[in-house]
Structure 1
Amino acid sequence: MTIHAGLTRHWLPLSIDGTGVRLSCISREGTGLPIVFLHGFGSTKEDYADVALHPAFAGRPVFAYDAPGCGESECADLDRISIPFLVKTALAALAEQGIDRFDLVGHSMGGLTSLMLAHQHPERVASFTDIEGNVAPEDCFLSRQIFLHPHEDPEQFLEDFIARNWAAPFYSSPLYATSVRYKVRARAVRGIFESMVDLSDNADLMEKFLSLPFPRMFMYGEQNNTLSYLPHLAANGVELAEIPNSGHFPMYSNAPEMWRRIAAFQARAMNPHLQRRPRAPDPTPSGTRMCRPKPFGEN
């Protein structure tokens, strides 16, 4: 079914390590490099559907899908889902779509999935926009709750997770929290969160990110501009994109600025002579800036 400025909704059946998966996808045909989007935990492919309405992306092929256990997508064994499983899913989906080389955009869980995919196959990625995807242990402010607030019942853990995030003092947290129960299956949460924490703590994600041989942009909300590694990213050639009036979810809080920065970055990636030198965050910004407090009992 074709809707929303040329996007087509369709299903993609796959087998991932012997587990049946049925992905709910949106895509658009076009010319030039495709843009591949991977959504975050508790979100869906629709986070990116407005790409079809922005003139800066006119004519570009696009592809996004709900991760297994999320949104409308299905998975025969929810206990199998983890970041490595999601990487294999992405590679299988790209193969089925005939997408070889592409611009990559990933948010949070999707940013970490994108990083692991790009590390394995750097020759396939033309540019990478990482929207607060995990690159260090401090990024596990959502996923580490599986250890900080454990519960044997996955349904109750998810309900408690929703309540904590609804009350969090960040842009769009209530909006995000109230829809989580409709966008992720409770039994998929543990495997996703535990693998995110394990990779963030033990897999040298920062080294992987900095070693990628193509243009990279790290996007973050202004509420998170105290992330300790931002100057290190800038000093190592990563473009930084701070999104005003936003926290972890710029696609909800300030979507116009998010899309503007992605379009400008991808344009520079396609035209190297337009590249600009990354700039570290201002150490003495004017006005009041909010920082991420220790969330929900995290030490």
Structure 2
Amino acid sequence: MTQEFLRSSIPLSISGTSVTISALCRQGPKAPVLLLHGFGSTKEDYADIVRHGVFEGRAFAAYDAPGCGETDCADLTTVDIPFLLDTAAAVAGHFWFERFHLVGHSMGGLTALMLSSQLPQRVLSFINIEGNIAPEDCFLSRQIDQYPSDSAEQFFAEFIERALHAPAYASALYSSSLRHKVRADAVPSIFRSMVSLSDNGDLMRKFLGFPFPRMFMYGEQNSNLTYLSHIESKGVELAEIPNCGHFPMYSNPVAMWKAIGDFIERAESTSRKVLRVTTTPR
């Protein structure tokens, strides 16, 4: 069984800024998965991919975004969604992922959406785990405007305290590691770009226009998102994770991984059927 992963350190220059990416990766014969974590999380959110048999033999890469985890970034104030988009494209290129499945959570879901828009011919499928596609999705990032502070450090400290008391599954667990997983100086530019794109970036049209299979995954606590029936009617598969809020990898990882694995297998099965039909000689 090809279950274990390797650690990888990847030196990059992103928009003139030196970055050293910390990644977990594995090679394998099956089409790879590129996994993008959310704000306040790290690549280890996805390390358990190797513990689920449905992914046996599948290559993957998960990495710490600049400003997060063990990744080093020379200028944290440059980190925003366009910067993270360029990083994701560079990481995919580093691992020679010619075509790949995309999984992105929250901030990572928005980054993955922008990457899909830039490289649609290379994406096999996209699993969006509560990534931003509408203004209502900025319940975390919009706090940069709702709770102005004198410094990035002060804002982040108060953000952590609010997360601790938020009435949602896994919020306290999430808050407990934020200070260890995120550099405060990266927070304002990340949040402002997330809000700007969610309000003005035409994200819904982009998401619904992709030519490959798409899933939108959400916790049952967020089943009141107003656009769910709309995106389902446009061909997006919905996956509601029970006993869960915004963080399925913390609250219900077994259900999350099953939904991801089953969806990727269906996407590849559909692709093979289409290929057979289009290549069958008349």
- TM-score class, shorter-chain normalisation, is over 0.9
Amino acid at match of 2:216: F
- Is structure 2 residue 86 aligned with structure 1 residue 108? no
Q: Which amino acid aligns with 1:15?
A: S
Q: TM-score, normalization: structure 1?
A: 0.89
Alignment of 1:146-185 (within 5 A): 146-185=144-183
Structure 1: segments with no counterpart, 5+ residues: 276-299
Matched, 1:236 2:216: no
Q: Does structure 1 residue 37 correspond to structure 2 residue 35?
A: yes
State the partner residue of 1:216.
Answer: 214
Partners in 2 of 1:92 and 1:267 — Cα distance?
26
Aligned to 2:245: 247
Task: List runs of 5+ in structure 2 lacking aligned partners.
Answer: 274-282
The number of aligned residues is 272
SS in 1 for 2:58: coil
The 2-side partners of 1:152 and 1:94 are apart by: 37
Identity of aligned residues (%): 59
Check the 8 A contact 2:117/2:210 in 1, yes or no. yes
Q: Which residue of 1 aligns with 2:254?
A: 256
Question: 1:21, 1:74 within 8 Å by CA — same for their partners in 2?
Answer: yes
Task: Report what 2:45 is aligned to.
Answer: 47
- 1:94 shift after superposition: 1.2
More helix by share: 2
The alpha-carbon distance between structure 1 residues 273 and 65, as it changes in their structure 2 partners (threshold 3 A), is: closer
Give, in angstroms, the shift of residue 95 of structure 1.
1.2
Residue 168 of structure 2 aligns to a residue whose secondary structure is coil
Matched, 1:16 2:11: no
Give the structure 2 partner of residue 194 of structure 1.
Answer: 192
Task: Show CA shifts across 1:268-288 (max 9, x none).
Answer: 10111899xxxxxxxxxxxxx
CA distance in 2, matches of 1:149, 1:220: 26
Deviation by residue 1:174-206 (Cα, 9 ceiling, x = unmatched) = 000111110000000001000000000001100
Q: TM-score by structure 2 length?
A: 0.95
Q: Distance in 2 between matches of 1:138 and 1:17?
A: 30
- SS state at 1:271 partner: helix
Is the contact between residue 29 and residue 57 of structure 2 (CA under 8 Å) also seen in structure 1? yes
Off by >3 Å, runs of 4+ in structure 1: none
8 A Cα contact 1:268 1:274, kept in partner:
no
**How many Å separate the matches in 1 of 2:98 and 2:144?**
35
Q: Relative to structure 1, is the Cα distance of residues 246 and 108 closer, same or farther in structure 2, using a 3 angstrom cutoff?
A: same
Query: How much does 1:5 deviate?
Result: 4.0
Amino acid at match of 1:128: F
Q: Tell me the SS of whatever aligns to 1:61.
A: strand
Q: 1:168 to 1:274 in 2, by over 3 A?
A: farther
Equivalent pair of 2:3/2:56 in contact (CA under 8 Å): no
Q: How far apart, CA to CA, are the structure 2 residues paired with 1:260 and 1:79?
A: 37
